[in-house]
Chain A
Amino acid sequence: MLSAFKLMALATAGLAPIAISALAPRYGTGSAAPSVQLPELVELRTGAIHFRANGEFLRDGKAITAPIVAVTVDRPLAVMKNQVSVADYQLCVKAGACPATGPGETASDRPVVGVSWRDTQTYVSWLSRETGTRFRLPTDEEWAYAAASRFHDDALPEDLYRSDPGQRALAIYDRDAGRVMAADKAPQPIGSFGANENGLLDLAGNVWEWTDTCFQRITLDTAGARTAAVANCGVRVVEGLHRAYMADFVRDARAGGCASGTPPSNLGFRLVRDDVSWPGLRFVLRLVQPGSS
C-alpha cells in the first residue's frame, strides 16, 4: 500500500574520510607476516532488520519520531567477538601509535574505555597496518544488525511530537531519568555480560561502543520524501543500553546542567573487518512508512 523508497545511505558523508584513509598506501595491505594477531571475528550472514533510524527527523517543520527503516546487509559482516580490550589497546600504545587512555581500569582483561572516536581511528590505522587486514568501526546500522536483540529502541511515542514543547521536554526528561544505570560503572572482564544470539560478547553492557555514523538531521516533506539532510560528523552515534550522540573528541561521557539522566557509563569500541572497498554500499536503507513494517 505504501511505497517504500530508497534512501541513499546518509552516512555517506561520514564514511568518506574513513574510506579514503582506508585506501591510503601506508596501511600496507600486501605486507609480509603480520606482527599483531588478528582479533577473533564472528562472521554474520547476510540478512535484513528493521530498526529505528538514527538522527533527528523533521516533517512540515516539526520534529517527528524517527522512522523505522529497513536495513539489508547484503554481504557477510565480520565483527570482533569482543570489545577491544585493554591488552589489545596497550599494544598500540606501547608501539607509540595510540595515545594512552586516561585514569581508570587498567586490568588487561577488561574492555578499554576512555577512548574517543578519534582514538578509535588511530587504533584502526595501527591495527590495519600491523595485521595487514583492513578494519573500521561499524556503522550504526551494522551495530544494530550485529547486536540483534541487544539493540534498544527508546524512541518516544509518535503522539508526543504533536504536543507542546513543555510536554515533549518532560517526556524526554522522564525517559532519560528512568534509564537504568548500569549497576557498576567499572568495566568488567570481557564476557561478563554474556553473548547475544550472534555469539558476540558484552553488547549493551556497561561499555558503550563508538560507531562511524554521523549525527544527522533529516527533513521530510508531507509525503515522507526526504528533502534535505544535514550531517554533523563532529558528532558520532554511540551504541549500548541506549543510543547516544557524542562529540568525536569525548573520552568520558557525562550528564550535567539541564540534561538529565544517564550518560553512557563508558566509551569503548569494537571493529568490523572492512571487506568492501569504497565506494561499495554494503546495505540499502529503505524508509518504511509507519504501519507498513
Chain B
Amino acid sequence: MGQAFEIADGKVTISRRVALRGAALLAGALLAPASAWALDLPRHKVELVAPPFVHPHEQATKLGPRIMEFRLWVEEKTIVIDEEGTKLQAMTFNGSIPGPLLVVHEGDYVEVTLANPDTNVMTHNIDFHAAAGASGGADLTLINPGERAVLRWKATRTGVFAYHCIPGAMTPWHITSGMSGAVMVLPRDGLKDGAGRPLRYDRVYYIGETDYYVPRDEKGKFKHYDSHGDAYMDTMEVMRKLVPSHVVFNGAVGALTGRNAMPAKVGENVLIVHSQASRDTRPHLVGGFGDYVWETGKFSNPPETNLETWFIRGGSAGAALTKFLQPGIVGYVNHNMIEAFELGATAHFRVEGPWNDDLMTQVMAPGPIVSSAAHQ
C-alpha cells in the first residue's frame, strides 16, 4: 500500500503483513462513509508541528465551520530525559512529548486519524477532554499495532483542553510515559478580555509538563530498561508512591533552555498554553506577569489579570497572555522551585529588545557595606 507514517528520523513504511491487513480495513472503510454520519462542510488539512511551536492558524476567523483534519500517530521509543543521559521507554503522539497542540475554532469539527504503526508493541487510543461522549473518543479509537482509526468530534466548548491515551488499566503509565497533548478551541471572533475587548497574541507557545517515575538501582542510579515491558513493573512501583523522579517541560530536562530557549521580543504579546495531564502545577514567569490568565483554560470565562503565579489542575490545560516588558532571560517555571530546579520544570524565554530604566534600574551595584549603612 505504501502508506507511510512520518517519524522523527524519516519514514516508517508499514510492513507487507500490516499493509494486507490495512487493505482489508480500507475495503471496509470504503463502505464506511455510507453508515458514518456524512457532513457537507469544507475540509482543511492541518500539518501539525512539534511543541513548543504551534501550527499556523487564524486567531479570529470569518469563515464558517470546517472539518479540520489532523493526523496523529503513536511512537513508542527510547528517549533521553536529562543531562545525565537517563533513558526512558517513552510513548508519544507524533514522536514528541507532549503531543502537538491542535488549534480549531468553536463549531469546527476535529477529524483525527490516529495510527498505531506496527513498529509499536502496545494498544493505544485517545481521549480528548474537549470532546463529548465515548470517553472523549477513546472507546472508538482503541487500536493495535498496525491499525488506525478515524474519529470526528464537534468543538462545542472554547478553551484549551488536554488529550491523552487511556488504554484501560495501563492509563497512568501511558500518560506518565509521554502520551498527552492539548487542543485549543478559539472563539470564532478570537480571545477577549473580561470587558469583551479583543485580545491578540504575536506568538503562541505550547508547554506540556510531564512527570516521570524512573526506577533507581540499589546505588540510587536511574535504571535503564531495554523495552517498555521490562520497565513496566518497576515503574508502576515508583508511580504508586507518587514521587516523580523528573518533572519536565517539553519532554526532557533542559528541552526549553539554553539553545532551546523560546525567542520573543520586548513589547510582544505571547500566549502560553500549558497542559499537565497528570498532576497539579503552578506556572510562574520570573520577572514577568500573567497579564490575562485563563487559569482553568476555558475562554467562556473572563481571564484573570496581572497574576504572579497561576494554577493548572492535573488533567487540564490553562492559558496565559503576557507582554514582555524587559529584555533578557525570563524564566518560566513550575513555582514549586524544587520541581523547577531539582526535577527539571524550567523553561526560558530569550527576550530581545531595549531595557526600560524606568521600570527597573540598578541604583548601586553590589559592593562592600559601608559602616554607617550596616546599621540601617
- B-contacting residues of A (Cβ < 8 Å)? 58, 61-63, 103, 164-167, 169-170, 173, 176-178, 181, 185, 217, 219, 228-230, 255-258, 260-261
> In the complex, what distance in Å separates the CA atom of A131 from the CA atom of B183?
69
Residue of A nearest to B286 (CB): A258
List B326-359 residues whose CB lies under 8 Å from chain A: 326-329, 331, 333, 337, 340-342, 346, 348, 350-355, 357
User: Within the complex, what minimum Cβ distance (angstroms) separates B330 from chain A?
Assistant: 9
The answer to whether A166 and B327 have CB atoms under 8 Å apart is: yes
> In the complex, what distance in Å separates the CA atom of A63 from the CA atom of B348?
24
Which B residues lie within 8 Å of A61 (CB)? Answer: 364-365, 367
Which B residues lie within 8 Å of A185 (CB)? Answer: 83-85
Q: A257-B337, A257-B340 are in contact. Are A169 and B367 (CB under 8 A)?
A: no
Q: Is B35 an interface residue (CB 8 A)?
A: no
Looking at chain B's contact residues, the main secondary structure is: loop
Question: Top 8 A-B pairs ranked by shortest CB distance?
Answer: A166-B327, A164-B355, A177-B258, A169-B328, A256-B341, A166-B328, A258-B331, A257-B341
User: Within the complex, what minimum Cβ distance (angstroms) separates A108 from chain B?
Assistant: 17
Which B residues lie within 8 Å of A103 (CB)? Answer: 219-221
> In the complex, what distance in Å separates the CA atom of A169 from the CA atom of B340?
20
- A-contacting residues of B (Cβ < 8 Å)? 83-85, 219-221, 257-259, 261, 266, 286, 326-329, 331, 333, 337, 340-342, 346, 348, 350-355, 357, 360, 362, 364-368
Question: What are 26 A-B residue pairs whose CB atoms fall within 8 Å in the complex?
Answer: A61-B364, A103-B219, A103-B220, A164-B354, A164-B357, A165-B328, A165-B360, A166-B266, A166-B326, A167-B355, A169-B327, A169-B329, A170-B328, A170-B329, A173-B329, A173-B350, A177-B257, A177-B261, A185-B83, A217-B367, A229-B368, A230-B367, A230-B368, A257-B337, A257-B341, A260-B257
> In the complex, what distance in Å separates the CA atom of A150 from the CA atom of B261?
30
The answer to whether B366 and A217 have CB atoms under 8 Å apart is: yes
> In the complex, what distance in Å separates the CA atom of A229 from the CA atom of B367?
8
Q: A164-B327, A228-B368 are in contact. Are A173 and B261 (CB under 8 A)?
A: yes
Which A residues lie within 8 Å of B362 (CB)? Answer: 165
User: Within the complex, what minimum Cβ distance (angstroms) separates A113 from chain B?
Assistant: 13
Residue of A nearest to B254 (CB): A255
Residue of A nearest to B84 (CB): A185
10 additional A-B pairs beyond A219-B367, A228-B368, A257-B341, beta carbons within 8 Å, are A58-B365, A166-B353, A167-B355, A173-B258, A185-B85, A217-B367, A256-B341, A256-B346, A257-B331, A258-B331
> In the complex, what distance in Å separates the CA atom of A103 from the CA atom of B366?
38
Which B residues lie within 8 Å of A256 (CB)? Answer: 340-342, 346
User: Within the complex, what minimum Cβ distance (angstroms) separates A217 from chain B?
Assistant: 6
The answer to whether B329 and A260 have CB atoms under 8 Å apart is: yes
> In the complex, what distance in Å separates the CA atom of A177 from the CA atom of B360?
26
Which A residues lie within 8 Å of B261 (CB)? Answer: 173, 177, 260
Which A residues lie within 8 Å of B326 (CB)? Answer: 166
The answer to whether A170 and B354 have CB atoms under 8 Å apart is: no
User: Within the complex, what minimum Cβ distance (angstroms) separates A60 from chain B?
Assistant: 9
Q: A173-B350, A256-B342 are in contact. Are A261 and B258 (CB under 8 A)?
A: yes
> In the complex, what distance in Å separates the CA atom of A83 from the CA atom of B38?
74
> In the complex, what distance in Å separates the CA atom of A278 from the CA atom of B289?
55
> In the complex, what distance in Å separates the CA atom of A169 from the CA atom of B351?
10
Residue of B nearest to A261 (CB): B258
Residue of B nearest to A58 (CB): B365
Which A residues lie within 8 Å of B83 (CB)? Answer: 181, 185, 255
> In the complex, what distance in Å separates the CA atom of A256 from the CA atom of B341?
5
Which A residues lie within 8 Å of B365 (CB)? Answer: 58, 61-63
Which A residues lie within 8 Å of B350 (CB)? Answer: 170, 173
> In the complex, what distance in Å separates the CA atom of A164 from the CA atom of B360?
11
The answer to whether A257 and B329 have CB atoms under 8 Å apart is: no
Q: A164-B355, A185-B84 are in contact. Are A170 and B327 (CB under 8 A)?
A: yes
Which B residues lie within 8 Å of A58 (CB)? Answer: 365-367
User: Within the complex, what minimum Cβ distance (angstroms) separates B302 from chain A?
Assistant: 32
Residue of B nearest to A63 (CB): B365
> In the complex, what distance in Å separates the CA atom of A128 from the CA atom of B370?
41
* The residue from B85, B329, B351 contacting A258, defined by CB atoms under 8 A apart: B329
Which A residues lie within 8 Å of B286 (CB)? Answer: 258
Which B residues lie within 8 Å of A228 (CB)? Answer: 367-368
> In the complex, what distance in Å separates the CA atom of A217 from the CA atom of B369?
12
> In the complex, what distance in Å separates the CA atom of A98 from the CA atom of B84?
26
> In the complex, what distance in Å separates the CA atom of A167 from the CA atom of B352?
8
The answer to whether B346 and A257 have CB atoms under 8 Å apart is: yes
Which B residues lie within 8 Å of A62 (CB)? Answer: 365
Which B residues lie within 8 Å of A167 (CB)? Answer: 327, 355
Which B residues lie within 8 Å of A261 (CB)? Answer: 258
Q: A58-B367, A260-B329, A261-B258 are in contact. Are A166 and B351 (CB under 8 A)?
A: yes
